[in-house]
Structures are given as structure tokens and as C-alpha cells.
Amino acid sequence: MALKQRVFSGVQPTGNLHLGNYLGAITKFVALQESYDCIYCVVDMHAITVWQEPHELSHATREVTAAFLACGIDPKKHIVFNQSQVAEHAELAWVFNCVARLGWLNRMTQFKEKAGKDRENVSVGLYAYPNLMAADILVYRATHVPVGEDQKQHLELSRDIAQKFNIDYAASINNHGYGETFFPLPEPIIQGPATRVMSLRDGSKKMSKSDASDQSRINLTDDADAIALKIRRAKTDPHALPSEEKGLETRPEAENLVGIYAALNDTTKAQVLSEFGGGQFSTFKSALVDLAVAKLGPIGGEMKRLVQDPVYIDSILADGSQRAQAIAAETMKAVKDIVGFVRR
């Protein structure tokens, strides 16, 4: 099987999509459509690693799909689907549970953060999450994965799993005529001025769907008034903006807002500072409000329109799942041969 340059990435349907998901991931998904075959997945099986109300999960799955479409992902040229409709993800994840080492998972910082002090009480799924993520990517033998900075460690683990599988089964891969190595080592794509968007209330915390404070994030469905209020109330410091990036080093809240402006305007932090450096925060915040409303307003409007039509959204997911499964099934056949499972 020849390896094709292919992009895969996913978003969890765990609540309100926010500016961090948009700038860190979804804008990259859109741009990569020009030069790759892309597969974009609503990862509902990852979502249930922490409790989700069933009716909210279905709604959130449709809402993430609506966000993909509203942001400009083309579900005809590329593939948009939800993970649970392609059983091969879970199937390959089991094989990877047997390839990945406990010591590797024990190092995952996201698990430590999410489990907190209540480790004994979290789901086994939350712990094994990175193995499922590796399966998501590798069941399509994807070569590139656009993600936010927070997913870098999981991507490295996916590469380790791919490499260990290739080495452990090298003889079998070769004997079955699948070449020298079977899985590619997927490359993370983590670029631009907003790979880690921070909370608007605390510059040391990532902007997150699960933050209890809605004021900490800009949701993609927020209206213009809500966006304006959140940006005006965003935590800052009493100093004017610096004229150079070095001046942001000890000012996480200022750096975050400058990064958000740069990413929304498709420019760099240095260029933003050359325009606003030396000026007051209030002036910069007003410009940021205008920019954010202009960029996010139409997306939120289109998302709200699309979620009114669940039949249409479900048809996109069904079609995408079928096309995704055709690729995933080919990989699983080969994996079964390689591992030594007898198959039909």
C-alpha cells in the first residue's frame, strides 16, 4: 500500500467550541484542504472518557460538525464524520493498548491535569485516551496532524506507537508484502501566533471548554455583545503595550491578546505591536473587539443556522463515515495479517 500525504485531526464534542479550538486547530484544518486529502473527525468516543449527558453529546456532535462546515471545511472534497460510526478506531486502539507501554502513558501531563487528585476514580478510558488518539490518526495512516500546543505530547506518543509497531512486527510486515514499515510517523502541525490560547481571566491557564467561567473563553456561538464584553473584561495589566515582542515575556495576559489579534488578522505579534505598541490597552481592546466580531460573527450565525437542520448534519456524518470506513477497513485488514489474526 503506497503512503499518501494525508491530514487527520479531531475535535471533542464536550461543550462550547471556543476561540482556542478555532485558532489552534480549525483554522489550520481549513487551510490544509488546499494541499492535502483531509479527514476531520468529531471524536465522540474521546468525549465519553469523562461523563457526558447523552442528549447533550448528540447535540454537541452536531454542533462541532456545524462549526467545521461554517468555518469552511468542504465535506465533499474531504471527509467529515464522527468517530463512533467507524468501529475500526476502537479495534486498532485495542492493538495499540498492547503496543504502548504503561510507562509512556504514565508520563502524559494531560491525564495528570484532568485526573487531578482523584486518580483512582477516573475512567480507564481517560488514561488510555492517547492510545485511541494514535488509532484515530494511524487507522488512516495519516502523515500530518494539525493540533494546538496542548496535544504535542500525545502526538509524540502516537509516533512512538507507530514506530514500536513497525519495529515489533517488522518481519511480518515484510513477509506480508506491506513494505519495510507499515505506519508513517505522523508529523504534528503546530504553527502560528496562537497555538495555545489562554483563558481571558488567567493568562497562566489554557482557554478550555471545561472552565467553569464562561467569561474565560470566547465561544464560537457568542454574539457581538458577548464577544465585546468578554474582551473588554479580559484581564490585563496597568502598563501600555510594548513596541517589541520581548516586552511581552513577563506579561502573559497581554501576550495572549496580542497573539489572538495576530492570528485573527493573519499576521504576526511583531506586526501587531508595531501598530499598537506604546498605546493604551483600551484602544487595542476596541480594535480586537471589532476584529473578533467581524471574523467570528458570521461563523456563529452559520453554526446556529446549520444546527437547526440535524437531518442535513447527520447526512454529512453518515456519508463521511462511510468513506472513512472504506479507508480504515483496508488498514485493519493489513493490521490483522501483520499481527497474526486469522480473518475472513
Residues of this chain that bind ligand AQP (CB under 6 A): 11-12, 14, 20-21, 24-25, 147-148, 150-151, 195-197, 206-210
Any catalytic annotation for residue 117?
A: no
Instruction: Please say which residue, 14 or 236, places its beta carbon nearer to ligand AQP.
Output: 14
Q: Whole-number minimum distance, CB 145 to ligand AQP, in Å?
A: 8
Instruction: Please say which residue, 11 or 317, places its beta carbon nearer to ligand AQP.
Output: 11
Q: Whole-number minimum distance, CB 10 to ligand AQP, in Å?
A: 6
Q: Whole-number minimum distance, CB 95 to ligand AQP, in Å?
A: 23
Give the span between the Cα atoms of 130 and 153, in whole angstroms. Answer: 9
Instruction: Please say which residue, 148 or 184, places its beta carbon nearer to ligand AQP.
Output: 148
Task: Count the alpha carbons within 13 Å of 135 in the hemisphere toward its beta carbon.
Answer: 28
Tell me which residue has its CB nearest to ligand AQP. 24
Local structure of 188: helix, strand or coil: strand
Give the span between the Cα atoms of 163 and 248, in whole angstroms. Answer: 39
Identified catalytic residue from 152, 164, 209, 304:
209
Closest CA to 286 of 199, 227, 238, 215: 227
C-alpha gyration radius of the chain? 21
Residue 9, phi then psi, degrees to nearest 5: -155, 165
Name the grid cell of 23: 485558532
CA distances from 165 to 234, 290, 339 (A): 46, 50, 9
Instruction: Please say which residue, 213 or 322, places its beta carbon nearer to ligand AQP.
Output: 213
Any catalytic annotation for residue 4?
A: no
Q: Whole-number minimum distance, CB 150 to ligand AQP, in Å?
A: 5
Identified catalytic residue from 4, 77, 164, 206:
206
Q: Whole-number minimum distance, CB 30 to ligand AQP, in Å?
A: 13
Instruction: Please say which residue, 166 or 199, places its beta carbon nearer to ligand AQP.
Output: 199
Give the span between the Cα atoms of 124 and 121, in whole angstroms. Answer: 9
Closest CA to 228 of 303, 273, 279, 287: 287
Any catalytic annotation for residue 206?
A: yes
Identified catalytic residue from 114, 164, 304, 336:
114
Residues annotated as part of the active site: 114, 206, 209
